[in-house]
Amino acid sequence: MATNQFIPGTDDKGAEPQDWSSANSFVLDAAGAEQVHVPDGGWILQAQFVRQGPDLLLVGQDGSKVLIKSFFKFADPPDLVTPDGAVINGPLAVKLAGPAAPGVEAQAGPAGAAEPIGKIVTVSGKVEATHADGTKAILKVGDPVYQGDVIETGPLGAVGMEFADESTFSLADNGRMVLDEMVYDPQAQAGTFGASIVQGAFSFISGQIAKTGPDNMLINTPTATIGIRGTALAGKAAPEGEQSNFTILPEGQFVGEVVISNNAGTVVLNQVGATVSIASINLAPPPPIIITAQQIQQQYGGVLRYLPPSPSGGEDNMVPGQQGADTPPADQDALDALANKLTQLDQAISEGLAQQQIDAIRLNAFKDIIDTGLAPPPKTFQDLPPEVLQILQQQAGLSFNTANFSSINQALSLLNNAATAAANAETAASTAVSSLSGSLSVLGPNAGLSTTDTDSLIEVVVAPLEALNAARALSEALVTMIQSAQAMLSVAASGGEIDAETLAALREAVGLDGATGENLVTAATEMSAVVNAAIAAATTAKTDAIAAAGGGVTAARAAAATSFSTNINGQLAAAGATTTDINNLQNVVDIVTTKVTAIRDIVSSRPDLPPELLSVLNLAVQAADAADQAATAAQNTLNTNDPAVMLTAKAGAITAAQTVNGLKAQAITALDAFVATRTVDPAVIAQFQQAVQDANTAESAADTATAAIEGASQAREAAQAFKDGTAQADLTTKQTATTAAQATATAEKAEAVTAASDVLAARANLLTKLVDEAVDKATFEAFEDAAKSAEAIQKGASDGDKGDVVADADGGLTYAVDTGNAAIAALNPGDSTTDSFKIAIENESGGFDLQTITVTITNVDGTITVSDDVTVTSGSGDTLTTVSGTLTGLTADGVQQNLDAAEAALATATTALDDATAAGSGTPTLAAALALATQNKSNAEAAVEFQEEVFALFQNAAQTAQARARGIGDGDKGEVTFDADGNVVYTPDADAYADLANGASATDTFLIAAQNSAGGYDISTVQVTVTNNAGTLAVGPSTTVTAPDSSTATIDLDALDDVTAGNPGYINGADQVADASTAVANAARTTVANLETVAQAELTESLAAINALATAQSAEAQAEGYLAVAQASAEAQADAALEIAVDDIATVTNQLSLLASAVNAYADAAQANAIVGTADKVAANAAANSALEALLDAAVNIAG
């Protein structure tokens, strides 16, 4: 015998205990045992068999447990034996426990490759199969069954099966069996069949296998093994301590044979009605007795109803009691009314007991529903759907599309660079104009030209560079486009979004995202190269013009024009320009028009974008067109050798450039007005400020070019301003102003960034509060939904938010509008609103399905009406369905309706019992009728008691759920609400107090809830007193509050809402918690709104400072541009004077050399005369004096 232990208490040897009754938890050891003795009681036949590693755990329906250690360590596990001799053999226990790894064992039907051994033919109630791989399935007609299946029927379940050899089998309610083995070869007419009946009534008709051999069909039960030799049999494997019965059945005209054996003996049954009863596997089967067909029906009628007929037999071979069988045998007709009454009584007793078992199961199921579905846990952050979190982020202002903003800003940065490059090119051209003008103003007169002629020559030499006002036009056209990009940036910065196509066109226009070919940036780069080439060609033209000046000004002008037109293409190549033919200059700017127009056209098709953006883009297109015209005129200036044509074309270029300048000013004004209407999101305030400042810098570069142009046109005056320091002094003044503006702008920007940071921090805090609010609201909604579900199950229908719903005893529904509801009161004639409530409908499983009913309420000429048309929503998730219906066509079927029906049945049973009692019991028939009536009333009373228990269960669940959700729940006899001031109001139900006498008082209780520190809810009870004052129900002002710890406090009813946290009577349900969260969230919203206002004001001030800085920078840029050309003009004049001086010095040097030679000649002559003799001394002196005078005269001439 195995070593058996139980907890508590064993003897010191660990022997099997003599009394199992003192414990409900046992530990046994299977090591070395052929049998393991388990505790007594029929629970083992219904116990769950659970694998726990190598151990087997048995769990009874009453919760008792037996752990058998090492059970699965052995290839041949021991049998399980009860004290009264019922046996679950080891292999059967293994099958009942299922595989070690459910779902993966290959023997399973659906999960493996095994063929079905039979199918389901009849089924009633719940029938479940556990396959050999551990998977489970609810069986229905037509489903296959497999070898190794464990078949279990519920309290109301029954099943009939047909197997491959044409045998049929049925199992009644609360049954459990295992299909151990089924092997059949129809060709060879050979096979085996084995099944184990653990518990329950069963019946079968043997098939082909039973005919192939005496031991080929075996049925095992806990007390006996049955060998089938071709017959029909019914039996019942009873719980331990009861008799298990086996009876041979008639099958048409055929009667076979069964052999029943156990450890103590064997008995053979071979007559219709032959019956044997066995209580233990260790007690020999007694001799069979013969029971009548009527008794067969009484004992086995329930299971026989589900026994399928044999496929190979007709009605002549059917077992009596099968569906479709012939009329019972003739002897049944002789049964008297007493037998009929006794049968009815037996059925009433069985049905009553079965119903009580079902009711107990249902009650436990209802408790589970209440503990789960009707008591949902508080929601958490993880319960919020992603789309809700996204909405909360949007509400908190944290869903800003920085990608859209950054993408525009990147393109804007490249536009700024391109505009600056074009402006710098124009400044270089203007500086060259000033330099050439200054140089020629000295060289011209020196070459013999008059001042007028010199100015005429200058005009031709610098004309190509002045025509390159096209560079300025390009720069300012790009600045106009910058205004458009800034408008887009303002849209993005204020929470709007530039569509993908517009954004793609903008980025492609500046060469982003892998764009190839010419674009706005390459146009600016190319214009810079063209300007450099033109400067070089103009410098050469100046030299060639001076060289030709001896022929007069006309020759000089022609030489200049010819020189430039001849050299420009070569200089383009030398400067690295892509455009190596000046005739293609217009194409450089034309790409700007193409790109800007493309963007404008896309925006014009987007009505959702601000119209101001389109206005600025229209100006940008016009500016690009004018810049294109300037480029065309410049091209005509640079490619001609006719001075007159050159000057005419230059004038056209300047005019077009001035047009662009005007359009740029309009665009800047339009942008400033648009930006003033937008609210920049604090998330990008710092970046937006910098973008504005960078754009201003690009505009300043254009202003520098404009000033340079103006200075170059007055080269002589500019040179003088440089010489006398006026230009430098002006620049110094402007620089001082810029420095001051820069300091102010830096301070204002920092303040705006700080304000923006405060907003972002507040938004993050707001998001936390919004999440808390959403979680608390979701918790309230879940609790409120549970409260309405519980109320619907309890009453048949829950109330709506705008009206009360009553379900009568038959389930008919009445909806009464609450005219005091604010939403109803606000309805104007013709207006409608909706309301929803739930109804309960009992389902086939004994539970309740819920439906949501939506009604429409309309103000019809001042009368509030409820439409009979409704929508009915059932299911949830993927199974959610909504259909149309009518209010009058709906029927509720909740606990109240079940209770009403049970009470009506009890009233009928009571009347029947009264009638039976009055009739007396003088005859067996009357006595049987009285017993039946008594049993029926007992059954009805039990049904009412059960329904009352269920009603109380759901009433308490509804009130508890209401308290959790709303802070207060209804009482048993009255409704509890908050009035407009928040006071708790108890409204007694007149029907509930109908029996209250005048002057008498009664009490009622309702529940209140308060959230605790763990996030759950503490429930307190409030007792109110109601008095009948001459027909008026008066509610006493004082209440008694009983806290969860059973402490009590006396509090006035209208003061309950004033109780503070931590005190008895404090109300803080999910609704109040959600309201508090909303208040906190609203405060956080207000904080964010206030900080956003501050941030916007700071941004406005910073942008004003940035614009003031831009004005200062523009003035400085203009002064700097003027100084540059002034310096260039002055330096050019100096360079030209130096060049002339160098030439003069060379001339003097030559004259002095000749003079020295003459002096030397005179000196040589004087010396010769002196040597000849003193006679010539006078002559020598005279010659020396004459030579000295000549030298002095020559020196005077040189000095002059």
DSSP H or E stretch at residue 1100: helix 1070-1172
Identity of the residue numbered 330: A
Residue 109 domain flag: yes
């918790």: which residue's tokens?
779
**462 with 558, same domain?**
yes
**414 with 282, same domain?**
no
Distance CA 744, CA 733 (A): 17
**Mean pLDDT by groups of 10 residues along the chain of 1200 residues:** 35 38 69 80 75 84 80 87 82 85 49 77 87 89 93 84 92 91 83 91 89 83 87 83 84 78 91 89 89 85 85 61 47 46 68 75 82 84 84 82 89 91 84 84 89 90 85 86 92 90 94 90 89 91 92 93 90 84 84 93 93 94 92 89 91 91 92 89 87 84 68 66 81 89 90 90 92 94 93 95 94 94 94 96 87 96 95 88 95 95 95 92 83 91 93 93 95 93 94 94 96 92 96 95 94 94 94 95 94 90 87 82 75 71 61 64 62 54 61 55
Residue 811 domain flag: yes
pLDDT value at position 320? 60
Closest CA relative to residue 263, chosen from 237, 283, 241: 283
**537 with 658, same domain?**
yes
- Residue 339: phi and psi, rounded to 5, are -60, -40
pLDDT value at position 314? 54
Per DSSP bridges, beta strands 813-817 and 1001-1011 are unpaired
Residue 307 domain flag: yes
Closest CA relative to residue 407, chosen from 521, 485, 494: 485
Residue 1028 domain flag: yes
Q: Where does residue 550 rank: exposed (0-12), middle (13-18), buried (19+ CB within 10 A)?
A: exposed
pLDDT value at position 6? 38
pLDDT value at position 829? 95
**How far, rounded to the nearest angstrom, does the alpha carbon of residue 383 sit from its chain's CA centroid?**
11
- Residue 808: phi and psi, rounded to 5, are -80, -175
Cis peptide before 311 (omega within 30 of 0): no
Provide the 3-class DSSP secondary structure of residue 751: helix
Closest CA relative to residue 1184, chosen from 1168, 1200, 1173: 1168
Per DSSP bridges, beta strands 168-171 and 190-205 are antiparallel
Q: Please give the model's pTM, rounded to 2 decimal places.
A: 0.58
Residues 6+ apart with CB under 8 A from 401: 492, 495, 497
Residue 389 domain flag: no
Distance CA 328, CA 323 (A): 12
Closest CA relative to residue 482, chosen from 657, 692, 314, 330: 692
Among the candidates 325, 348, 375, a domain finishes at: 325
pLDDT value at position 322? 62
Contact 864, 824 (CB under 8 A): yes
pLDDT value at position 95? 87
Contact 256, 102 (CB under 8 A): no
**105 with 46, same domain?**
no
**574 with 627, same domain?**
yes
Q: Where does residue 241 rank: exposed (0-12), middle (13-18), buried (19+ CB within 10 A)?
A: middle
**516 with 562, same domain?**
yes
Residue 569 domain flag: yes
Provide the 3-class DSSP secondary structure of residue 657: helix
The domain in which residue 21 lies consists of: 4-93
**1008 with 867, same domain?**
no
**How far, rounded to the nearest angstrom, does the alpha carbon of residue 550 sit from its chain's CA centroid?**
87
**257 with 235, same domain?**
yes
**126 with 78, same domain?**
no
Provide the angle, in degrees to the nearest 10, between the axes of the packed helices 685-712 and 451-467. 150
pLDDT value at position 2? 36
Residue 1084 domain flag: no
Contact 265, 284 (CB under 8 A): yes
Q: Which two tokens stand for residue 136?
A: 């489970």
Distance CA 443, CA 207 (A): 133
**878 with 1020, same domain?**
no
| 665-670: long-range pairs with CB below 8 Å, 24+ | 666/619, 667/479, 667/480, 667/483, 667/484, 667/616, 667/619, 667/620, 667/623, 668/479, 668/483, 668/699, 670/483, 670/612, 670/615, 670/616, 670/619
Contact 922, 339 (CB under 8 A): no
Provide the 3-class DSSP secondary structure of residue 620: helix
Number of domains in the chain: 5
Residue 362 domain flag: no
**167 with 286, same domain?**
yes
Among the candidates 298, 325, 352, a domain finishes at: 325
Query: What is the DSSP annotation of 158-216?
Result: EEEEEETTS-EEEE-TT-EEEEEEEEEETTTTEEEEEEEEEEEEEEEE--HHHHH-TTS
Among the candidates 840, 873, 893, a domain finishes at: 893
**83 with 108, same domain?**
no
pLDDT value at position 334? 34
Q: What CATH number did the domain enclosing 297 receive? A: 2.60.120.1440
Contact 154, 126 (CB under 8 A): yes
